[in-house]
Amino acid sequence: MTNNIRILAFAGSLRKDSYNKALIKAAAGLSREGVTIEIFDIEGIPLYNQDLEKDAPAKVKAFKESIRSADALLIAIPEYNRSLPGVLKNAIDWASRPYGDNSFDDKPVATFGATGGSIGTAVAQYHFREIASFLNMHPLEKPQMFVTDAHKKIENGTVVDEETKKRIAEMVDALVKWTKRINSSE
Ligand SMILES: Cc1cc2nc3c(=O)[nH]c(=O)nc-3n(C[C@H](O)[C@H](O)[C@H](O)COP(=O)(O)O)c2cc1C
């Protein structure tokens, strides 16, 4: 790891005005000395097919390379039926394969999520932790960030609520600290 911490951020939504894309956009817009946040758009990742995993589609290769070259990951997780949206699980499945070539291995990761509902994607984020455990990621435990009533805090794909912006900044700062801690314990 260099002195500069590179964070790869992605959201599990393809929706143009996605609340979760808005969260990562706000994170990427923060100015932090020695921290770079790059956004990867998972749009265009095809449905997983094990026949193709040894010579994966170009978009999948790009996703895996972006994950590998990042020091940490920041994932905005929408909640669909109390779990991850299929598009996100599909992207994760691709990047975890083929067996022995899991690009998530040993990566510090922070999650947050937004919904118009009242649970704030907590169930989906906890479900993600099971996947993260299997893939040997290192999830940041605190702060947790479950954005409820997102329609009141995010407008046209942009976070407008000051408290939410503050919590995003705290999340990024905590992820940077966590990443340094993980890497110093090698
Ligand atoms: C198939 C489907 C299932 C959903 N299930 C949940 C759910 O379990 N919990 C929840 O809080 N919101 C649920 N929602 C509402 C989503 O949180 C909402 O569509 C949100 O805008 C998705 O995130 P995005 O704006 O980033 O695309 C669901 C939406 C869809 C389309």
Instruction: Please give the angle made by the CA atoms of 96, 100 and 102, to the nearest 5 degrees.
Output: 25
- Single pTM value for the model: 0.97
The tokens for 174 are 């905590």
Ligand 1: residues with CB < 6 A are 13, 15, 18-20, 78-82, 115-117, 119
Q: Is the peptide bond before 85 cis (omega within 30 degrees of 0)?
A: no
Residue nearest to atom 6 of ligand 1 (CA): 80
In the block, tokens 């039926």 appear at: 81
Distance from the CA of 120 to the center of ligand 1, in angstroms?
Answer: 10
In the reported structure, the alpha carbon of residue 45 is separated from the centroid of ligand 1 by a whole-number distance in angstroms of 20
- Digit-by-digit pLDDT tens for the chain (186 residues) are 667 999 999 999 999 999 999 999 999 999 999 999 999 999 999 999 999 998 999 999 999 999 999 999 999 999 999 999 999 999 999 999 999 999 999 999 999 999 999 999 999 999 999 999 999 999 999 999 999 999 999 999 999 999 999 999 999 999 999 999 999 976
Helices 86-95 and 58-69, axial angle in degrees (round to 10): 70
- In this predicted structure, what is the pLDDT of residue 3? 79
Instruction: Return the CATH superfamily for domain 5-184.
Output: Flavodoxin domain (3.40.50.360)
What separation in angstroms does the CA of 115 have from each of 12, 22, 68, 104, 152?
12, 12, 29, 26, 10
Q: What is the DSSP letter of 118?
A: S
For ligand 1, atom 9, name the residue with the nearest CA: 79
Note whether 45 and 143 are within 8 A (CB). Answer: no
The domain limits of the chain are: 5-184
The phi-psi region of residue 82 (left if phi > 0; otherwise alpha if psi is between -120 and 50; otherwise beta) is left
Cβ neighbours of residue 41 closer than 8 Å, sequence gap 6 or more? 10
- Take atom 3 of ligand 1 and give the residue whose Cα is closest: 80
In a 3-state reduction of DSSP, which class is residue 71?
Answer: coil
CA 57-88-149 angle, to 5 degrees, is 150
Compute the distance from residue 33 Cα to the ligand 1 centre, in Å: 34
Residue 8 makes CB contacts below 8 A (sequence gap 6+) with 37, 38, 40, 66, 67, 69, 70, 72, 73, 74
What is the whole-number distance in angstroms between the Cα of residue 159 and the centre of ligand 1? 17
Q: Which atom of ligand 1 is nearest to the CA of 15?
A: 27
| Residue nearest atom 20 of ligand 1, based on CA coordinates | 115
